[in-house]
Amino acid sequence: MLADHQRFSYSAINDRADFHWPNKRRLAVYLGLNVEHFAFGEGLGGELAPGGPAPDVLNYAWREYGNRVGVWRMLELFDQLKLPISLLVNSEIYAHCASVIAAFSARGDEIVGHGRSNAERQGTLSEAHERELIQEATEIIAAHSGSAPRGWLGPWISQSRVTPDLLHECGYEYLLDWCHDDQPTWMRTRTGRILALPYPQELNDIPTIMVRRASASEFADMIVAQFDEMLEQSERQPLVMGIALHAYIMGQPFRLRELRRALKHICAARDVVWLTTAGEIARHYAQLDAHSC
């Protein structure tokens, strides 16, 4: 037998009990905006171009553009379209540019834990050190926002074999790292269960634009096609569509214009879909009695 994670069992989407999102909606759509901070001259980081010797000023400065300019342009767009946001936050952002988080919090947006910094991966740490990372990030977010985050996405979607256990033990109700379904999935942990919420790896600007080198217009076309197809599919099963964005990528002016086109297309159907946050999707699903671990 092959090794198995033992977190959940196989389930075909066609075999599951039916349910609805609020107001009888069938498709839930959320935007996950990653707000990240990176160490200068060391550690991991997204690359616009192959990095040179440390300090890699080219790529560090490109990433910092997202916090200084890109995220604010995206905020203006979200305001114009009246779109709620799930803000995936490195806790180091509070020491670096707390005004970014304050601006989204003032809108009532959800804050999701996203580690300390995307200069590191948590999945390579010992259990004790990983627990410390989760606790540190959680405490910083709670101290600034007034409440602990309910959801978590690991930096670089990195998990160890005990990450779901540690998250549940630290009070988390859902995680975004497991990208295996179009509906939420209950996962077993050693102290209870935690919800895995669909988070996109295809409809994600890092693998699509920075790895596969798709253009801004191609990425926007992908968003539109994904939405149109999932809207049709949701007539058969209720679905979750996530869009994963990074301010240093989609906050670039030429990409922002294409993102606006795609999001306007989605908003034109707001009377028939649920435009919401990851946390609200998790909250609603957890209240359904028909689903168990």
| Domain regions of the chain by residue span | 34-39+56-286
**Mean model confidence pLDDT for the chain:** 95
Per-residue pLDDT, 53: 85
| pLDDT tens column, 193-250 | 999 999 999 999 999 999 999 999 999 999 999 999 999 999 999 999 999 999 999 9
| pLDDT tens column, 185-195 | 999 999 999 99
Low-confidence ranges of the chain (pLDDT < 50): 290-293
Per-residue pLDDT, 52: 79
Q: What tokens appear for 3 in the block?
A: 């090794």
Euclidean distance between CA atoms 73 and 124, whole angstroms? 35
What burial class does residue 49 get, using C-beta atoms within 10 Å of its C-beta: 0-12 exposed, 13-18 middle, 19+ buried? exposed
Residues 34-39+56-286, CATH architecture: Alpha-Beta Barrel (3.20)
Per-residue pLDDT, 289: 56
Per-residue pLDDT, 292: 44
Per-residue pLDDT, 50: 85
